[in-house]
Amino acid sequence: MSKHDKQEMIVRHKLFDRICHWFIVAVGLVTFLTGFSIFFPSFQWMGAIAGTPQLARFIHPIAGLMMCLPLMLLLARYYHHNKWEKNDLKWMLAIKDVMFENEEGIPPIGHYNPGQKVLFRTFVVTSIVLTVTGIMMWQPYFAPYFSGVVVGWAILLHAICALIMMIFVIVHFWMATWVEGSVAGMLYGKVSKAWCRKHHPLMLDEHSDVEKKH
Amino acid sequence: MASQDIIRRSGTSGMTPAAKGRNSSEQVAKLFDATKCNGCKACQVSCSEWNDLREEVGTFQGSYQNPMSLSGQCWTLMEFHEVMESNKLRWQFTHSACMHCADPACLKACSTSGAIIQHANGVVDFDSDKCIGCGYCASACPFDVPKIDPKDNKAYKCTMCSDRLAVGLEPSCVKSCTTGALRFGSREDMLFYSEKRVAELKEKGFPKAGLYNPEGVGGTAMMMILHDITQPDSYNMPVDPQIPLSVTLWQDWVKPLGAAGLIATAAVACLHKITVGRNIVEEDQPGYQPPEEEVKDKEEDDQ
Amino acid sequence: MTNHWIDIKNSNVIIIMGGNAAEAHPVGFGWVTEAMQHNNAKLIVVDPRFTRSAAVADYYAPLRSGTDIAFLLGVIRYLIETKQVNYDYVKAYTNAGYIVREDFSFNEGLFSGFNEETDSYDKESWYYELDEEGHAKIDPSFENPRCVWNLMKQHVDRYDFETVSNITGTPIADYEVVCQQIGSTHTHDRAATFMYALGWTHHTKGSQNIRSMAMVQLLLGNIGVLGGGVNALRGHSNVQGATDMGLLCQSLPGYLKLPSDKDTDLKTYLKHNTPIALRPDQTNYWQNYPKFFISQMKSYWGDNATAANDFGYDWVPKWDKQYDFTKHLDMAYHGEVNGYIIQGVNAINSMPNRNKVLKALSNLKYMVVLDALATETATFWQNADGFNEVNPAEIMTEVFRLPTTCFAEEEGSIVNSGRWMQWHWKGANPPGEAKPDAEILSGVLMEMRKLYKQEGGKLPEPLNAISWDYHNPLSPHAEEVARELNGKDLLTNRQISSFAELKDDGSTASACWIYAGSWTEEGNLMARRDNHDPSGKGVTPGWAFAWPANRRVLYNRASCDLNGKPWDPKRTIVEWVDGKWHGIDVGDFNMKLTPQQSAGPFIMQPEGVGRFFALKLLAEGPFPEHYEPMESPIGVNPLHKVTSNPAVRMLPGVKETLGSHKDFPYVATTYCVTEHFNFWSTHARLAAISMPETFVEMDEVLAAEKGIANGDWVTVSSKRGSIQTKALVTKRLQPLKVNGQLVHTVGLPRHGSHNALTRKSYSCNVLTTEVGDANTQVPEFKAFLVNITKAEGI
Ligand SMILES: Nc1nc2c(c(=O)[nH]1)N[C@H]1C(S)=C(S)[C@@H](COP(=O)(O)OP(=O)(O)OC[C@H]3O[C@@H](n4cnc5c(=O)[nH]c(N)nc54)[C@H](O)[C@@H]3O)O[C@H]1N2
Ligand SMILES: Nc1nc2c(c(=O)[nH]1)N[C@H]1C(S)=C(S)[C@@H](COP(=O)(O)OP(=O)(O)OC[C@H]3O[C@@H](n4cnc5c(=O)[nH]c(N)nc54)[C@H](O)[C@@H]3O)O[C@H]1N2
Ligand code: HEM
Ligand code: HEM
Ligand code: SF4
Ligand code: SF4
Ligand code: SF4
Ligand code: SF4
Ligand SMILES: [Mo]
């Protein structure tokens, strides 16, 4: 048997981060659905996961907070992976090759590709804005402390950010399920070296650097 | 029967219109004549009496006004303002309550189907059973009227006593007004009366008297006769109330565009999935046999 | 009121002075806005504070509390000077031409007859010159220097604009506008009405405040006409009824007099109280006094009243001195009273000088409280930290609380300010053990009779003689009482239809002669609800019953000239056409007489005319004169050496409780706000919500001087006590320039309670003085001195 039968696995997501991520996914589902049910009256049924529209309304901000806080935690932990690097621009210019899997045209990148980094940054910004505006518009606890005009703009911003986040989550979901092996990585923590070589070649260097240090 | 005179519902698009079957319903209006009011608060108290509202007993806040603002338990409030005008004091009393806008910002802002409705007679009413207490109406209203009651987390405001109107009675506040400062009738009659009254006031030494019936919200079913129409702010009324820009942007632009964005993204994703297909690391597939040179390279690497 | 609420809509100028109708009578105030809108009336408000009435007024003039007489005498001077006088009226219907006794005089603030030693007046000289027949002498040309007109002119001559402004603090410009507006109603086709209440009565010269206004109205010819009159806005619900029924300590129902010690028998008593006409052929309606009184006796004692026993006259209590509440509380304070029955009054809150009242109540052996609520009075013995500092262990007064119903829980009539007796029906059953007052008192009477029978006792006769002829003697029905008040012919047993039917021979009974006609053989006229107003002038004869005789406008004969032709055809009440009287109202005269015979419209006066010169009726003199309040912020009377009212009754020890402007520099006045009714409404949740706490109002200058911000806690103190409350700093109060100094007024609403649904508050009566009007003894609640300092919260 060749060595390739025994896949060599390396850690990509630590347990804590995985728990965070899937917690976010679970709570996020509630947040999105309830938020969506408020957003589009015709989709009030989406809030039915909470039972009644009133409950959906009640749960949404709580779920939103429960989602955004660990998300920000996760973002803090992954911050160092998401710095802009010199190859990233080239990768971005080759986005067409990325999407159509023309592997030869894709410049090698590290732990995360620039697409993920854009996503990451969007999550950073939207989650902060959603949290701040969400709190400002939260009746009956916080909203009364702000003027109607301010709350009005907060609602608008909240809606815009929620949309952006949702669009990016769709993209994120699409990419995660497209690039097979990454969901497993997020589930079990490890990815194969081959997977790395294919998607994040430079990450292997980082990995060996780390190992050497040990 | 009640629902047949609903001409507008919140959270309802033009594609599922509210009933328009009846067109006999006459537009009504409540008229507050600020030049006659003596600030007795009978209206305020009778509103609570009729509607069974009991605000908490508060504390003295530096004026005769109490409570300090509208709330779920206070649907109309007499406001007290000391206004100095060319060295003369005007102690201004404002009967503050829902203005029943023809083009209500609250209704526009409310995303919950049927939580806010507008009746054919012009009355804007809340259906508390449906309300989810998001407070969008409260922030959108240019008159700062609807309030969320923390007790049940629902929005409340003056209903124009629609229960009384339904049986041919005038609103409770109007009924108990001591000076005739509050009147009620068909919108047409109230406009006719106002015109006369304003002319009268002009003759009596109030050249700037006028009717407050702001255009920006399409006119209101609660109108006010003011001594000085050029200064609505001295009555604590907005000079040019409008549906806030944030509400328009959000309801008319962000929502449809956002919906389109979501659908488009999902569509592209599906299309991509169908066309480009799976992105697999072949090496990791079970039964994968690497080409020779690759194996060699790899072994070298490992060394 | 000589007129009535709706009649205000007929006024051309409405002066709210000495009252605050928008706040204290907000519903009646609707007729003011009605007049303003539909009769083009001008509204003037004269008040130390810019009130809610002032907020809707055309003109507002501030004045220093307690200076209305100066203000109004200045108006009189202005009217005479500018000839804005209704001369026709004054000549025909007033005593302007009457000649006053030679020995009457006014000098340096005192009228003739003042005895410096006893501090009291001998009023002998305050009278007309009489001719041989006992009739007053008249000079119709007003030339006689001793006629009322000239004496009055001379009296008011001192009150020029500068003097008035110097006393009242009213800026001259404002004053002039008020004078002009008032003056504009001297013509026949215009009328003014003054709406007043406590702002005039709560002074040591309250009665004279009102007299000054009445003099203005006579000068302008505004009495007896639509839209005019002298209109007291009555306070408590049914206080008018209570007054009609002999509320005052020296009254009997129907404004009859309670006999005094000097009235040793019926004959003497009747002689004292039955006037003789002072002019030939005058109606002199009080000449019927014996008929009213004897009918009342027949009603009280029934068959027990006979000619032989002077109709039970001996059983009627006689007074030796005036037992008004101030005097009585003073007696309790000095331990001279055993017990009180306190019925429908929250004495410890509403009476002046709370600390003294507390002591007085603590001295009692027992106290029975008939009230619907647990008032501060009923719980005076309970400690309430800060608000009622007492040690219950030291108070020996035994308190019994008997819960009563309130008006909505019983049937009966309420008389409003316009003298309308309006029947009302029961709206709800009383809660718990509450009983109507009549039932409680009947129970007490029956029990006393029983005990007297069993155990005997002093003076059983009156107790046994009372006629208590009710279906259920333990619970007289309102209808039975109402019929009794109206009265009946004892021979035929028919309800009388008018007091004209009353006799002095014991053949008629009527408990309150002015109510005769309210419940006749036709039934209960008070229950009528026909609001037809055929003339459009607000005269609705089919609505309820207005005493006397369903008359809506008193003295209405004065609305026509001597020949019965209305002064103003647009304001016709009665008129003489084709040899007969016609009218929209019941004439206030014998309508069978010709105009010439009935030309004395003021039929209750023995001379038939309105009086500029009040004869001996008032304690401090026949003309009003400005005196400072007992506690004066300037300490002197700018006019003369008599600072305050010389006729005031000063009980021993009270002088020491008065403060000086040196220690207490600010004028305090107390009043009501719309949101509360006296003290009881603090138990009503909606009222408590709309005004949860009391406060003290002050001007911005004073606040700045004292470093007080809006909403700060302050201590307000007088010589008699101090309270803590929150400051309301407002533009509605302004310092006034008086006698060369700035006078600040502070205002205290009178609704402070500590046992209700509002925030616990002090009663302003911790601060007030019991010294009162020289005639009525109503305390000077409206002008006393205080000091103010910033304080810590409570
Ligand atoms: N809402 C309400 N209505 C009430 C009552 C209540 O408690 N609340 N009480 C009822 C009763 S019992 C009564 S007797 C009546 C009282 O009715 P009002 O007499 O109208 O009431 P007050 O508020 O006592 O006083 C009226 C005004 O007199 C002013 N004033 C004080 N001093 C002077 C002065 O020297 N000259 C002049 N010109 N004005 C002065 C005060 O500033 C005040 O605004 O109201 C009755 N109606
Ligand atoms: N400083 C200051 N003091 C004032 C005044 C002021 O202006 N300034 N105003 C004065 C004036 S004008 C007045 S009228 C007084 C008012 O003083 P109060 O008469 O003492 O005041 P209320 O609170 O009206 O008290 C009436 C009581 O009668 C009770 N009651 C109601 N209905 C019934 C009934 O059917 N039967 C019986 N037995 N009881 C009943 C109520 O519960 C209430 O406790 O205050 C006076 N005190
Ligand atoms: C800290 C996090 C969040 C808080 C406190 C919060 C709070 C709120 C509040 C108060 C509302 C108004 C309705 C309501 O009270 O339920 C709201 C609406 C909404 N939220 Fe959130 N939210 C948060 C996060 C999110 C997230 C993460 C999303 C989705 C990406 C989201 C999407 C929405 C949407 C779509 C609406 C409806 C907005 C509209 O109708 O315009 N929210 N949110
Ligand atoms: C709905 C199902 C979701 C799936 C299947 C999924 C899957 C994944 C996978 C496979 C990864 C690892 C990517 C990699 O290793 O390169 C990942 C990373 C991540 N996911 Fe998700 N995810 C989901 C939803 C979400 C949501 C709702 C959020 C938050 C809004 C989120 C935030 C993140 C973040 C922040 C990372 C780290 C990526 C980075 O640092 O660039 N995920 N997700
Ligand atoms: S005033 Fe405010 S609450 Fe009333 S209808 Fe207009 S927008 Fe709605
Ligand atoms: S609070 Fe209620 S009424 Fe107001 S916008 Fe939200 S759902 Fe509509
Ligand atoms: S119309 Fe009815 S609900 Fe509205 S303020 Fe008046 S009493 Fe209150
Ligand atoms: S009841 Fe009439 S007069 Fe009184 S405060 Fe209300 S609007 Fe003004
Ligand atoms: Mo009173």
Q: Which residue of B has its CA nearest to A167?
A: B262
Confirm whether residue B37 is marked as ligand binding: yes
Decide if pLDDT at B303 tops 60: no
pLDDT at B214 over 90: yes
Going by alpha carbons, the residue nearest to atom 8 of ligand 7 is B47
CA of B224 vs chain A CAs: smallest distance (Å): 23
Ligand nearest to the CA of B184: 7
Domain count within chain A: 1
Asked whether residue B118 falls in the same domain as residue B213, the answer is yes
If asked whether residues B170 and B221 sit together in one domain, one would say yes
Regarding whether B189 and B119 lie in a shared domain, the answer is yes
Single out the residue of C189, C196, C197 nearest to residue C226, CA to CA.
Answer: C189
ipTM reported for the complex, 2 dp: 0.91
Reported as a pLDDT band with limits 50, 70 and 90, residue A201 is: confident
pLDDT at A208: 66
Share the mean pLDDT of chain C. Answer: 96
Select the highest-mean-pLDDT range: A89-93, B118-122, B273-277, C633-637: C633-637
Task: Give chains near B: 3+ CB pairs under 8 A.
Answer: A, C
Q: Which of B117, B281, B297 to probe the A interface (max A CBs under 10 A)? A: B281
Q: Which of A139, A153, A170 sits opposite B148 (nearest CB)?
A: A139
**Residue C640: band (very low, low, confident or very high) from pLDDT cuts 50, 70, 90:** very high
CA of A94 relative to ligand 3 center, distance in Å: 36
Question: What total of structural domains would you count in chain B?
Answer: 2
Residues 6+ apart with CB under 8 A from C476: C438, C439, C442, C468, C470
Helix axes C68-81, C161-168, angle to 10 degrees: 170
Helices (H), C302-398: 325-333, 347-350, 354-362
CA angle C132, C137, C142 (to 5 degrees): 160
Percent of chain C, pLDDT > 90? Answer: 98
Q: What is the Cα–Cα distance from C109 to C626, expressed in whole angstroms?
A: 8
Going from the N-terminus, what domains does chain C have, and what CATH number goes with each?
Answer: 1-97+150-237+548-626 (3.40.228.10), 325-412+430-461 (3.40.50.740), 655-790 (2.40.40.20)
Question: Residue with structure tokens 């009218």?
Answer: C583
pLDDT-based confidence at residue B1 (cuts at 50, 70, 90) = very low
Are residues B262 and B224 located together in one domain of the fold? no
Q: Do residue B60 and residue C728 have CB atoms under 8 angstroms apart?
A: yes
Range of the domain at A159: 13-179
Q: SS in 3 state form for C32-63?
A: HHHHHHHCCCEEEEECCCCCHHHHCCCEEECC
Please tell me the predicted confidence (pLDDT) of residue C332.
97
Residue B2, burial from CB neighbour count under 10 angstroms (0-12, 13-18, 19+) = exposed
Domain that holds residue B172: 6-243
Q: Taking all residues of chain B, what is their mean pLDDT, rounded to a whole number?
A: 91
Determine the average pLDDT of the residues in C469-486.
96
User: Could you read off the pLDDT of B246-280 as tens digits, one per residue?
Assistant: 999 999 999 999 999 999 999 999 999 899 888 88
pLDDT at B294: 57
pLDDT band at A51 (very low <50, low <70, confident <90, very high): confident
CATH number at residue A113: 1.20.950.20
pLDDT of A102: 81
Q: Is residue A128 in a domain?
A: yes
Q: Ligand 8: residues whose CB is within 6 Å?
A: B 37-43, 78, 93, 95, 177-179, 181-182
B296 and B207 fall within a common domain: no
Q: What is the pLDDT of residue A3?
A: 47
Reported as a single tens digit per residue, the pLDDT across B19-53 is: 777 666 789 999 999 999 999 999 999 999 999 99
Residue of chain C minimizing CA distance to B182:
C30
- Note whether B261 and B231 are same-domain residues: no
Q: B213, B243, B273 — which closes off a domain?
A: B243
Tell me what pLDDT residue B301 has: 53
- Under the banding of pLDDT at 50, 70 and 90, the label for residue B3 is low
- Residue at C181: amino acid letter: Q
In a domain, B1, yes or no: no
Give yes or no for a contact between C372 and C404, defined as CB atoms under 8 angstroms apart: yes
Task: Indicate the burial class of C532 (C-beta count within 10 angstroms; 0-12, 13-18, 19 or more).
Answer: exposed
Note whether B200 and B118 are same-domain residues.
yes
For residues B192 and B80, state if they share a domain.
yes
User: Count of CB atoms within 10 A of residue A149's CB?
Assistant: 15
Is the model more confident about A48 or about B225? B225
Q: Of the ligands numbered here, which is closest to the C-alpha atom of C200?
A: 1
> How do residues C57-86 score in pLDDT, each as one tens digit?
999 999 999 999 999 999 999 999 999 999
Residue A5 pLDDT > 50, yes or no?
A: no
| Same domain as B121, residue B260 | no
- Give the span between the Cα atoms of A103 and A114, in whole angstroms: 16
Which pLDDT does position A92 carry in this prediction? 85
Q: What is the pTM of this model?
A: 0.92
pLDDT in tens, B140-171: 999 999 999 999 999 999 999 999 999 999 99
Percent share of chain B, pLDDT over 90: 80
B74 is in an annotated binding site: no
- pLDDT at position B281 is 82
**SS3 labels along C452-505:** HHHHCCCCHHHHHHCCCCCCCCCCCCHHHHHHHHHCEECCCCEECCCHHHCCCC
- Most C CBs within 10 A among B33, B38, B92, B177, hence the mutation to make, goes to B38
Percent of the residues in chain C that have a pLDDT greater than 70, as a whole number: 100
Q: Give the catalytic positions of A in this structure.
A: 172
Distance C237 CA to ligand 9 centre (A): 9
Residue A38 located in a structural domain: yes
Q: Please tell me the predicted confidence (pLDDT) of residue C786.
A: 98
Contact C4, C417 (CB under 8 A): yes
Residues with CB under 5 A from ligand 9 (ion): C 235
- Residue that finishes a domain, picked among B243, B272, B289: B243
C311-361 residue pLDDT tens: 999 999 999 999 999 999 999 999 999 999 999 999 999 999 999 999 999
